[in-house]
Structure 1
Amino acid sequence: MKLQDRRATDNKKLRVLYLISHFKLGGAEICTFELSNLLNQSLEIGVAVVLGNDDTNASQCLTQRAKNNGVAIFTGVNCPLKFGGFLAAAFRLRRVVRDFRPDIVHVNTEIPELVYVLSLCLDKSIRNIPVIRTIHNTALWPRWSSIGAWCERYLGGASVIYVSDAVRNSFEEWRSACGMNLIKGGQTIYNPIIVPRVRKLLLNKRVRQGCVRLLFAGRFDFQKGFDLLPDILKHIDIPPNTKLALSIYGEGAGRSILEQLRDSPPPGWQINLASTNPHLVRELPEHDILLFPSRFEGYGRLAAEGVLAGIPVVAFSIPALSEIFPQDYPWLATYHKTDVMEYSKKISLLIRSLDRAQEVVDAARKNLSDRIAPEKIALDYFRLYERVATEINEN
């Protein structure tokens, strides 16, 4: 049965409350709002953040469509976490849960898990609400492993979704390292991704004239590998009569490194640095190559968006990306902590062979789109919600 068929036959809609960290353009947040847009006709949906509100342009791009579709939006607290923020967020979340009265609470990532567990400690009356967890990260509870283990005592019986098999493996390893048994069941459901535009032809007039546009986007932190960009660019072999333009979008503590790169680029490069672009997925086809030098990922959403948008992606061969790219994808480099030469070489070869890359790009897009069709993913989630609600009613 398709999702639209269920919309017509269901009388009482389940009420699902999604919990996320903040209204920022992270993978968990985008996934949550994509699901709310796909399922709003089938469910009564609320989205609650534990930190902050939707007062920026990027956050409003996330929330406005959801609000238009009837999704209830609940803001979080603005108190710093280390100065009572967790407890303040728990009190706020307790009130949200009591007001929204969900049939299911769906928790995403570690900070919302901790805040929700604190709210359970504050109010026993909400402990009987079934919980579903989506695990998004391969690096779990960094520096806070003991707190994570404490949360597991409360959430260990919840249904679990993994955004990739790599995340499942990391979660099982982390629980084992904490002395906990493996969770039975659980399922991998990839993130729903909707790409509004697809580039049909790589070799356009601009590329033929020797102007190649590259893109990097993400948080300026260790995970995303932003700090590798200066060395990567320095070692790229630029063909004669070729101009390279790199657009960088993002924000974070490491911005000064990229400002220096922008102001003093390697020969042959033009670099533009801008803040987070909420419309990036729509603009992906305007670029020729996506740079994705992440050191680790739970899923690698932007890499998947690049593949689906029809542009080649240069990345490290980290575990999660094996679920996005075909086995023979030619632009994956082995990750070394201090050596980016292979990564730079992959870019150099790609720039020189864009006229022969179309077949690989098309095959990668078809391979991925067949596996992560948004309607299929939405139906997988809907079935899980139905099953969890039915099990609670039967018990």
Structure 2
Amino acid sequence: MALSNRAGLSMLKTQLAPTRDWGERTLTVLDGLPDGAGRDVRVHALNNLGTIEIAAGDLVHGKQMLEQSLEGARAANLQEHAARAYCNLSSTAVTQRRHADACRWLDEGLIYCTDRDLDSWTGYLLGWRSRMHLDRGEEAAARADAVAVMRSGSSAVGSLEPLLVLAQLDARAGTGAPDEAFARAVEMSEAMAEAQRIGPTTSARCEAAWIAGDDDAIMQVARAAWPHVDEVDCPWHRGEVATWLPAGVDAGVPVAPPYALEREGRWAEAAALWASLESPFEQALALARSGEVALLTDAVRLFDRQGATAAAARARTSLQALGAPVPRATRASSHPHGLTPREQEVLQLVARGLSDAAIAEALVISRRTAEHHVAAILGKVGVRSRRELETGSADASSG
């Protein structure tokens, strides 16, 4: 286990070579033991190795090892190890915008951890689900998950993602005061000193600075973070910082494809790739950062559609500076809680006591979509449970 822990520490630093070295040494020792000995060490080592291989880009080999770790942990009832496997399968999928994989592992992991009262692991998974919702443009569901984690008093590791999600939602919409949340995120990520924490924190802060029109802050934040991620073996964490570096700064290392296109100034192609990755805000952001009238115009409409009022205002300002026509703002929802027509339909069915499955059947949608609608309504109305929603449904429906 000492050898595997060394591998785990290297994995957390996103260092491929030492993780492989310590992990393979661990497995070599285990192979010399009697059958069945050291099962907990084996699943731990496979988890470390699988996670780093996925992060570095070997998805097939990495998933194979991580899934072996999960299967072994579940078979031996090693609950903490199984929870760790679910978390790493989920977090790597969310980071790489593999949303179908992320949904699978988040759903399975949340059921597994909730059923066994593994509360800290449940909170960690919920934090990553909030990030996935945000990436997919499901703002209300993202807020609902993030608020739930923050209210639970989760650890620093578990609360960083939801803290960033809430700050980004406020920055994008121009609501609330995200500065305090960003300051807390910086303190937490610097204390952990891991690229997987520093990269997302830096990206979120640079995004907020872009919305505010503060180019100097973007340069300062990105430059300060770059030495912490430039040598790690994850093109996604490198990319989310590198894309904000000044054009004259040579990143010198490969970054994930959408960030590589942004670094090359191929903004329309980057936006198209973000769209294929079901990442609508990043799609709009790439269009807006292009500085081209046609792309900026498309960005305004995309931002408006997502309710990203402050981001849309920044794009409109850029269009005005270019002397170009500025699209009119899209009319906001007339519902007092901002519920969409579909959400209002779902709310009426919740008030009648229907389950998610029954709502899905009534509206001819998937159960998962019904669950997302209910989560979005909870977040917009500001209640914690379906029961509160049912008892207050008349007020929620009419305002």
TM value normalised by structure 1: 0.29
**Higher helix fraction (1 or 2):** 2
Report 1 or 2 for greater relative contact order, CA contacts < 8 Å, sequence distance ≥ 6.
1
TM value normalised by structure 2: 0.28
**Higher strand fraction (1 or 2):** 1
